[in-house]
Amino acid sequence: MAYVNTNKNNEAEPVVVRLDNTAISEAKSILYQAYRHEPTFHYLFDHRRPGYDQRVRATIRELINLYFDLRQEAVGIMLKDTLVAVAFIGDPDLRLNLTEQLSWRIRMVLTTGFSSTRRYLDYHLQINALLPQPLAHQLPLMGVHPKYQNRGLGRMILEAVERLCAENARGSGLVLDTGNSRYLPFYESMGFRSLGKIQLGANEDYVLFREVDPVISKVSSA
């Protein structure tokens, strides 16, 4: 394939690419694997109730479709001909308010149920309330397929996201959140600091921010 790089040992090296909607199926699979065991999703979609996996799949599908419909940036990492990591980036001018996305809300209610949709909207509004001024990019979805974790791909794709953010002078930095405290040392090593916490039942979701210096760099297209 055109996007395969090899090192001196003739081993395939990961390559960062921009994604379009032809990658939806692979992106859904990666993000489902990345989020289904996360405490935040356990709370939002009630993992103790039957149908949890279906609700997670439906939510990821509807979010991916929404971000592509809104022409937001998405990047991935290819290893040989396999997409192994993805990230979706919200433009700083978007300041997406999901409560205003009527068709999205209807699809969410039909596929995940009213209570899960309500919980997700409340969670989204709490994150929005912590967003910094001036405007910042948001990273609502990011994941590395479990089979390819612990290879530095999380750092690689986050660095690619930061480069894209740096090309957009309208943004002051990058915001993300995590409900898993074991990820905090990694994000802190990448320069993120806390904007606050959201209480989700017995769990806490951490909202993090990193300033991004405006530099020019390129990400290859796919």
Q: Which CATH architecture has domain 5-211?
A: 3-Layer(aba) Sandwich (3.40)
Q: What pLDDT, on a 0 to 100 scale, did the predictor assign at position 92?
A: 82
Ranges of each domain in the chain: 5-211
The token pair that represents 95 in the structure block: 């300041």
Q: What count of other Cβ atoms lies within 10 Å of the Cβ of residue 5?
A: 12
The token pair that represents 157 in the structure block: 């794709």
pLDDT band at 1 (very low <50, low <70, confident <90, very high): very low
User: Which residues, 6+ apart, have CB-to-CB distance to 5 below 8 Å?
Assistant: 12, 13, 15
Q: What pLDDT, on a 0 to 100 scale, did the predictor assign at position 215?
A: 62
The dihedral built from the CA positions of residue 122, 93, 168 and 86, taken in this order, carries a sign that is positive
Residue 178: burial class (beta carbons within 10 Å; 0-12, 13-18, 19+) = buried
| Residue 6, pLDDT above cutoff 60 | no
| Residue 27, pLDDT above cutoff 90 | yes
Per-residue pLDDT tens digits for 124-180: 999 989 988 778 899 999 999 999 988 999 999 999 999 988 887 777 889 999 999
What's the mean pLDDT when you consider all of the chain? 88
Which range among 40-54, 95-109, 172-186 shows the weakest confidence by mean pLDDT? Answer: 95-109
Do 166 and 214 contact (CB within 8 A), yes or no?
Answer: yes
Please tell me whether the overall predicted TM-score, pTM, comes out greater than 0.95 for this model: no
Per-residue pLDDT tens digits for 60-106: 999 999 999 999 999 999 998 899 999 999 988 776 778 788 899 99
| Comparison of pLDDT for 216 and 86, the residue scoring more | 86
